[in-house]
Amino acid sequence: MDNIYSSVIEALIFSSEEPIGETEIINAIKGIDGEDVSISVEDVQTCIDNLNTKFEEQKLSFKIIKIANGYLFSTRPEYAKYIGFLSSEKSKRRLSQAALETLAIIAYKQPITKPELESIRGVNSDYIINTLLEKNLIAITGRSESIGRPLLYGTTDEFLKYFGLYKLSDLPKPREIDEIMKDEDFQEQKQRILMNMIEEKTEEEASKESDDDD
Amino acid sequence: MYKIKLDQFEGPLDLLLFFIKRDELNIYDIPISKITKEFLDYVNLIKMLDLEVAGDFILMASTLMHIKVRMLLPREVDEKGEEIDPRSELIQALLEYKKYKEMSEELSFLESNQRKISFRGNFSEDEKIVPPDYEILLKNVTVFDLAKAFKKAMDKLKPEVVHEIKKINITIDEQIAYILDLVEKNNELHFLSLVHGMKEKLRIVVTFIALLELTKMGMIGIKESTEFNDFVILKIKNG
């Protein structure tokens, strides 16, 4: 593949407000220069890698990142302080514990109805769901076929962007509790491990929370 | 009573996990009686503070008490003839909840990383020539998006406020004639009965001015009435 497309790809990503995928990039190139241009998804990826290397060598303040099923230009983390000083958007409050918890459940269980979500959390979640809908982190994806046809919720591309994920399968894997439960031979042993982990986690939370208070 | 900061717990399951950790309990062998007591103490505390939140906690409290009762009774058996631990459902729920609580920490970590970077913005300033694309009818739009947008548009639609001013054709001269006519017929006239039946404020005001005018001209007299907030209008003979 010609290196000239390197600049084209750079321009396409640079001008894209939402993450732009490899196929979209290829479509744009073929749409202008003809279908016979030979360019593959791998070519695009190589180009982007090369661009990133170039940016790094030149010590530029930005790079191309892989996020939400596509590519976007973003600043490097070391400039966060300065950008945050000026930009009101980034200085916004972080998501609350309740919001993160709800998002975690929706992300792993999607599509999920509100009653299902509430039965896991054990609390009413109307307010949280509305907040997340407003922030566009979740969306209504349809209706369940179960009684009452409740609305189904799922995560959005905005969710992927917010957490810096390329696709949903990049989410960290939850520990499979069912498996631990089923395995009776090692249950005793695993109980200990589980307890330790829970203790550690809760301890971490406690210290985290006391930090927050400060 | 054990005092706990309220917003520390996201819900009843969170609180139970806290008790389990604090007292180093085995999650698979929860001392139901002890934990129910602790839980009820906490519920009583929050009932005083926040009834709405307390609802979910009270539900859990009743679940705990239900389990406690079942613990005292002979164990139920499943199809295979094995004893059913009345706590198993609760344990499942706790573990399930714990799983997602852990994941929410992972998300929180991702969130902090992501907050350190900013995407390129201010696209409106970019130079661009957009070719018209008439072929795409619906792109990344769901029925719900459309419905949402429609609702938003409808909500924005404020009813037009119309102020209407009614002109009341009434003059002092007319009211003077009207009063004189009435006084002529009745000799004495109470002010309240004079304005009785007048719907517009303006009409009452003009009538009152007409009264003052007549008094000034010496065509009528006014005297105190026996009734409170009223006065009597008299005819003065010979003008």
**Distance between CA atoms of residues A169 and B59, nearest Å:** 35
| Secondary structure (DSSP) of A22-84 | HHHHHHHHHHHH-TT----HHHHHHHHHHHHHHHHHTT-SEEEEEETTEEEEEE-GGGHHHHH
CB contact B18 to A (< 8 Å): yes
For residue B105, count other CB atoms closer than 10 A to its CB.
19
Give the whole-number percent of chain B exceeding pLDDT 90: 0
Q: Which of A53, A86, A119 is the last residue of a domain?
A: A86
Range(s) of the domain holding residue A62: 4-86
Which of A96-110, B4-18, B102-116 tops mean pLDDT? A96-110
With cut-offs at 50, 70 and 90, classify the pLDDT of residue B34. Answer: confident
Q: Model-level pTM greater than 0.80?
A: no
CB contact under 8 A, A15 and B113: no
CATH 1.10.10.580 in chain B is located at 172-235
Give yes or no: residues A63 and A101 share one domain.
Answer: no
Q: What is the pLDDT of residues B208-223, one digit of tens each?
A: 898 888 888 888 888 8
Count of positions (residues) in chain B: 239
With cut-offs at 50, 70 and 90, classify the pLDDT of residue B80. Answer: confident
Give yes or no: residues A128 and A188 share one domain.
Answer: no
CA dist A109 → A34, A77, A112, B111 (Å) = 43, 31, 6, 20
CATH at residue A13 = 1.10.10.10
Give yes or no: residues A74 and A99 share one domain.
Answer: no
**Distance between CA atoms of residues B102 and B89, nearest Å:** 20
The shortest C-alpha distance from A133 to chain B (Å) reads 11
* Helices vs strands, H then E, count in chain B: 8, 3
| Secondary structure (DSSP) of A99-139 | HHHHHHHHHHH-SEEHHHHHHHH-S--HHHHHHHHHTTSEE
CB contact under 8 A, B110 and A105: no
Is the preceding peptide bond at A111 cis, omega within 30 degrees of 0?
yes
- The structural architecture, per CATH, of the domain B172-235 is Orthogonal Bundle (1.10)
pLDDT at A195: 61
Res B239 pLDDT > 60: no
pLDDT at B68: 86
CB contact B88 to A (< 8 Å): no
Query: How many domains does chain A divide into?
Result: 3
Residue A70's closest CA among A5, A26, A115? Answer: A26
pLDDT at B226: 76
Give yes or no: residues A150 and A166 share one domain.
Answer: yes
Low-confidence stretches of chain A (pLDDT < 70) are: 1-2, 88-92, 175-214
- Contact between B83 and B55 (Cβ < 8 Å): no
Give yes or no: residues A143 and A155 share one domain.
Answer: yes
Give yes or no: residues A189 and A202 share one domain.
Answer: yes
In chain A, residues with a C-beta closer than 8 Å to the C-beta of B101 are: 101, 104, 201
Q: What is the pLDDT of residues B129-157, one digit of tens each?
A: 666 666 666 667 778 888 888 888 888 88
CA dihedral for B152, B142, A67, A120, sign (positive or negative): positive
Tell me the residues of chain A between 54 and 93 that have a Cβ less than 8 Å away from chain B. 62, 65, 72-77, 80, 83, 87, 90
Give yes or no: residues A185 and A170 share one domain.
Answer: no
Burial class (CB in 10 A: 0-12, 13-18, 19+), A152: buried
Residue A150's closest CA among A122, A132, A129? Answer: A129
- What is the residue-averaged pLDDT of chain B? 81
**Distance between CA atoms of residues B236 and B234, nearest Å:** 6
Which pairs from B79-88 meet CB under 8 Å and 24+ separation? B87/B30, B87/B32
Q: What is the pLDDT of residues B162-205, one digit of tens each?
A: 888 877 788 888 888 888 888 888 878 888 888 888 888 888 88
Q: Which of A31, A61, A86 is the last residue of a domain?
A: A86
Q: Which of A45, A61, A86 is the last residue of a domain?
A: A86
CA dihedral for B26, A102, A156, A109, sign (positive or negative): positive
pLDDT at B8: 61
**Distance between CA atoms of residues B122 and A113, nearest Å:** 37
Give yes or no: residues A35 and A60 share one domain.
Answer: yes
CA dihedral for B42, B48, B51, B55, sign (positive or negative): positive
**Distance between CA atoms of residues B36 and A176, nearest Å:** 28
With cut-offs at 50, 70 and 90, classify the pLDDT of residue B98. Answer: confident
Give yes or no: residues A111 and A168 share one domain.
Answer: yes
Return the residue of A nearest to B12 by Cα. A122
Give yes or no: residues A41 and A21 share one domain.
Answer: yes
Give the whole-number percent of chain A exceeding pLDDT 70: 78
Q: What is the mean pLDDT of the segment spanning B1-16?
A: 66
Tokens of B234: 């008299």
Q: What is the pLDDT of residues A139-198, one digit of tens each?
A: 999 999 888 899 999 999 999 999 999 998 888 877 655 554 444 444 455 455 556 566
**Mutation to test the A interface, candidates B4, B9, B10, B90, most A Cβ within 10 Å:** B10
